[in-house]
Amino acid sequence: MQYLCRKKAYNFMKKILGMGNALTDILLQIDKDEVLFSLNLPKGGMQLINTERSKEIDDAVSNFPKIMATGGSASNTINGITRLGMPGGFVGKVGKDDIGLFFTNDSINNGVKPHLLTSETPSGRCTVLVSPDSERTLCTYLGAACELEASDLSPQMFQEYDIFHIEGYLVQNHDLILAAVRLAKQEGLKVSVDLASYNVVEDNLEFLHNIVHQYVDIVFANEDEARAFTGKEPVEALNDISGHCEIAIVKVGKDGSFIKSGDKTVQIQPRISDCIDTTGAGDLYASGFLFGLANNYSLEVCGKIGSLISGNVVEVLGAKMPEEVWIDIQREIEKIVR
């Protein structure tokens, strides 16, 4: 089905809207992977958990130090974009509780315009278990976050924005995704999707293929997600995905990333980092790339900015970086874009 898009006049800085699970991250550094094995948690994966399972995990890791911060993949991406000085908004749903209030206030403090619906259900949270080798295992209690519905969306949410970024963790709700991408296209936005997790891709493969082919302009994937989406290794997967969208990005960890648009392919070298936690690395790569794209930079520059920011965030615990790091990032971006 074809949609008529409103033509936008860009006499102002472009704005980026994200939609995802409004989660508060609880990050814990575990001392050994046996903790994961004892809880029957697949290392590096994302597991949806219920209230009882959440309590079991909380009890098992109660002795480890923890940090709390607003999270969720698309929320992390939009927070990164606003820290770079570009306007951003976020669509999600929270509970009428302290965690929901924390999420709202922290978003505002980071310069994000919240488009948040509320629910009587407790707010969602994600327990992030960080292994000694920096790999992260996510245990997600969605709570109110998963109650975001197609009927919560309106054309007005999209009208002041230019790019719409969706996290793949939402794709279980097919009606919501379809309504969102259709509204985005009707309002003239480019649509960006981060595939988010290989097991989510595997469980929603046919739906994702259809969405990408019909509505999506930009696809972010790591090598596991790209393999789940195409059945191919990174470079071949890149070629496959790029045949269905305007820009395809496949991230290959310490080997950097590949970007393809049309006949042009770019390989981006990674930033050498002292990695302690990979939480938010992919989300912040998307921040840098979309920031560059909105500024009409080349694919190479977009990828370099994404690599710069993701290479910085792995040096801290969690997806939030202190002010002095963002100041250094801004200086480095100025050098990249010269």
Residues 34, 41: Cα–Cα separation, whole Å: 10
Please say if the pLDDT value at position 55 is more than 90: no
Q: Which has the closest alpha carbon to 160: 311, 51, 9?
A: 9
Beta-carbon contacts of residue 167 (< 8 Å; ≥ 6 apart)? 18, 19, 20, 21, 72, 73, 74, 77, 193, 194, 196
Residue 296: how many other CB atoms lie within 10 Å:
10
pLDDT tens digits for 57-108?
Answer: 989 999 998 888 888 899 999 999 999 999 999 999 999 998 899 999 999 9
Higher-confidence position of 300 and 3: 300
Q: Among the listed ranges 4-13, 122-131, 228-237, 292-301, which one has the minimum average pLDDT value?
A: 4-13
Say what the alpha-carbon torsion angle 277, 278, 279, 281 is, to the nearest 10 degrees.
140
pLDDT tens digits for 183-197?
Answer: 999 999 999 999 988
CA angle (269, 271, 274) in 5-degree steps: 140
CATH of 16-21+71-124+143-336, one of 3.40.1190.20, 3.40.50.2300, 3.40.50.720, 2.40.110.10: 3.40.1190.20
Residue 111 φ/ψ region, left for φ over 0, alpha for ψ in the -120 to 50 degree band, beta for the rest: left
Residue 295: how many other CB atoms lie within 10 Å:
16
Q: What is the mean pLDDT of residues 113-122?
A: 95
b (16+ CB within 10 A) / e for 14-30: bbbbbbbbbbbbbbbbb
Question: 12 pLDDT band (50/70/90 cuts)?
Answer: low
Q: Among the listed ranges 54-63, 91-100, 113-122, 170-179, which one has the minimum average pLDDT value?
A: 54-63
Q: How many residues make up the chain in this entry?
A: 338
Ramachandran angles phi, psi of 25, nearest 5°? -80, 135
Question: 9 pLDDT band (50/70/90 cuts)?
Answer: very low
Check if the beta carbon of residue 22 is closer than 8 Å to that of residue 92: yes
